[in-house]
Structure 1
Amino acid sequence: MNQNQSSYQSTEDQKVVLPLQKSKQDLVVLKYMAQQVRVTLQAPGQLEDASLPWSYYLNERQRRTHRILLYQPQLLLQKHDLAFVGFVSGRQQNADPETVDRLDAADYDMLSELTHVPGLLSYSSLELRAGRWYNLVILKSLEIKSHFHTIGAHRHAAYELSPHYYEWIRLHSGSLPGGLAGGKMALCGTKYYTFPGNGQRPHVQEQVYSSCCV
């Protein structure tokens, strides 16, 4: 796995200008998802003594399900700067059904392991249409991202299953000035992965928008 990880970060990485419109469109959806996290936090009847994470399944338009997991709800309510990671992906049209099942299983395993990530506040996922997923992770700071590489299920999905499943991935990172209450998202950077298929490692492009993230 370490060998695969290093190949993902080799000379394939390039500093390029990605289509800004794509990032803006993604940010609209991610901002909506953050607003839904805030609304969920403010819903009446919260059981403060319930075991964490708190799990919610919201019914969105066109029968879409929006899954929200709250790991540290009290920190999400505070009005201080937070960080986010947005994972937006498109599935290969000819993805093998067995690979799809294996990735679903890895996702399920990862959710149970996320409880051990310090500084993870919430994790949301929304399938906007078939094969087009938006995932929003809210963190205390962007430094917390490095802990995801210690999760076995995440490494398995990222470096073994992804080349057989995804057509592309846009991985955004940024900040939430003033926390969820601020209602704003500042995009710091985007990594764009395109997968040639046949299990080959992806081409990686990167665009940095700002260096002032939390």
Structure 2
Amino acid sequence: MTKTIGIIGAGHIGRALATHLSQTNHPVWLTNSRGAASLEAWVAATGGSLRAAELQETIENAEVLFVAVPWNRLEELAKDFAAFQGKVLVDATNNIVSVNPFQLADTGGATTGSYVASLFPTHHVVKAFNTLAAATLALPPKNSTGTRVIFMSGNDDEAIQTVSRITKDMGFEPIVLGNLTEGGKLQDVGGPLSGIELMQVNR
């Protein structure tokens, strides 16, 4: 079953996601803070099912939205979602607010997925695609060794199933870790799966 998919954020992570999703049968809308016109050339070169769109039309029309924006933009983005409910949000963010010096935002002891879910209380958050570096995520999902694994966690089983199916459509192998609290601890920066590249070996 096809879903209209939105990608919010067109940095390295957002574009890696867009490249893979554009090769699926799902209609994919890519948006950023600078507007659709700034994306049209890249989208045309990428092709497939991808189109450039404005933020509001993406939120309104997409059933599943990948969130790939800087951490400090999440609270403002949440306001754009306030008029909607029931969207599946794939949270691909990390709470990094500075690289040099390295600094993480304070989430009050919550995992990042739980924190994001608190900002979007009427939507279904699935934490995924945040453990791999952008350059690794951009690589083909499959190679001669096997299929690259995507870790995910969430509190809503139906949302997890939806994101798992889309992840498989992209060519990756999903592994569900549990809820946003327990599974999220494994995924967050500093957790045991952060930065880990796992392949499901071909048999």
TM-score, length of structure 1 as denominator length:
0.27
**Greater RCO structure (CA 8 Å; 6+ sep):** 1
Q: From the CA coordinates, give the structure whose radius of gyration is larger.
A: 1
**Structure with the bigger percentage of strand:** 1
